[in-house]
Amino acid sequence: MASFPLMVFDLDGTLVDALPDLTAALNRMLEARGLQPLAQADVRPMVGDGTKKLVERALAARGAPYDDATESAMVADYTDHVAAESRPYPGVNATLSRLQEAGWKFAVCTNKSTAATEALLAALDIAHWFAALGCGDSFPVRKPNPAHLSGTIEAAGGTPARSLMVGDHANDIAVGKALGLPTIFASWGYGKREMADGASAVAERFAALATLGPKLLS
């Protein structure tokens, strides 16, 4: 049984502010179809359920139907420009360093594709922090299905009894609760504040995880 505590993170809106590049990729997709662009404020509430839902919502906002080919093209284009403007949130490296020194390990559980996740983490030079990546195409299911989170924890060599989930979306809180994990809502992310309902704690900034994590897994 794993003896180390494991902090599992959502990606977009939790570890990384990816909204500028997601918006830009969606707008290139819309432009190719002769549709009007979206503002970042429009895209913000669309994020969190994977790329298919993101593309569906963007197209629906412009009265256009979804199709798989459009999504595939958008994902490829986005992956090519994944870190043009995206950046880790303030405090990510310092906080993870502090927790790592205290014996913590980390994993990512995201509905984003493996290709885009790996490209983003590598471009931002934060891939080295994570023992495992559980992405949207890593398992047959995605968040909020608890098998996505349990598979990620297993891949990291952890156990649910010594893990907690951090995220900015209702899916992150739901998936953590489904496995009986403590959950921390990332209030700096894209989710509305009411998505924190049921979370074990709310973090106002990333640095707060250095104290909240140990308290919840004491």
Give the chain's length. Answer: 218
Q: How far is CA 11 from CA 1, 33, 101, in A?
A: 27, 29, 22
Dihedral (CA of 19, 145, 116, 134) sign: positive
| Residue 82 tokens, joined | 């994944």
Three-state SS letters, 103-165: CCEEEEECCCCHHHHHHHHHHCCCHHHEEEEECCCCCCCCCCCHHHHHHHHHHCCCCHHHEEE
As a whole number of angstroms, the distance between CA 106 and CA 205 comes to 18
Amino acid at 150: S
* Residue 10 annotated in active site: yes
Catalytic-role residue among 10, 17, 168, 172: 10
CA nearest to 99, candidates 35, 178, 8, 173: 8
| Residue 161 tokens, joined | 């009894």
Residue bearing tokens 């894209």: 190
Active site residues: 10
